[in-house]
């Protein structure tokens, strides 16, 4: 069904300051997914939008922190239900990590050898970046 509708094969649900709480997590088309473009029920579309708005409103009203652990737990649980409902309606992989910062489903394709310095790995593209090699002339 996903390909038939042009729906990403893999999305991530996370709260944030963006208009949509869904991001395409396929390497070819990484980026935000407009809720209006998805073949989901209007009820689910509204619940997703309301969940995302609630995050912003709640944190903005409490100095950008959760007012209490119970509120955060309820919000996280609601996100789990939304993720499952998306899986059920779209039939695609939906990643849900409550902090929105971790995507453990995309490991590096190859271990990076020790470079003796820093490197950055971009999991969606599979590219690694490291310090530029120094030539003898630079020494």
The residue extents of the domains of the chain are 8-96
Beta bridge partners of 31: 24
Q: Where are the alpha helices (DSSP H) in 1-139?
A: 2-5, 42-61, 69-90
Token pair 């509204």 is at which residue? 46
Single pTM value for the model: 0.66
CA distance 117 to 123: 19
Structure tokens belonging to residue 85: 């409902």
pLDDT of 40-93, one tens digit each?
Answer: 999 999 999 999 998 888 888 888 888 999 998 898 999 999 999 999 999 999
93-96 and 10-13 beta bridge pairing: parallel
Q: For residue 121, give every residue at least 6 positions away whose Cβ sits within 8 Å of its Cβ, in sequence order, or none.
A: 108, 112, 127, 128, 129
More confident residue, 34 or 105: 34
Helix H or strand E segment including 94: strand 93-96
Contact present, 11 and 95 (Cβ < 8 Å): yes
């Amino acid at each position: 069904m996903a390909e038939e509708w042009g729906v990403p094969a893999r999305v991530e649900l996370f709260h944030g300051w963006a208009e949509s709480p869904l991001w395409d997590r396929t390497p070819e088309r990484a980026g935000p997914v407009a809720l209006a473009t998805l073949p989901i029920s209007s009820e689910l579309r509204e619940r997703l939008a309301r969940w995302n708005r609630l995050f912003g409103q709640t944190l903005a009203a409490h100095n950008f922190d959760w007012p209490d652990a119970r509120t955060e737990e309820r919000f996280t649980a609601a996100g789990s239900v939304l993720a499952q409902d998306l899986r059920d309606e779209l039939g695609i992989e939906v990643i849900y990590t409550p902090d929105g910062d971790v995507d453990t489903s995309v490991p590096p394709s190859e271990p990076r050898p020790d470079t003796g310095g820093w490197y950055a790995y971009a999991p969606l593209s599979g590219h690694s970046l490291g310090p530029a090699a120094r030539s003898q002339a630079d020494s």
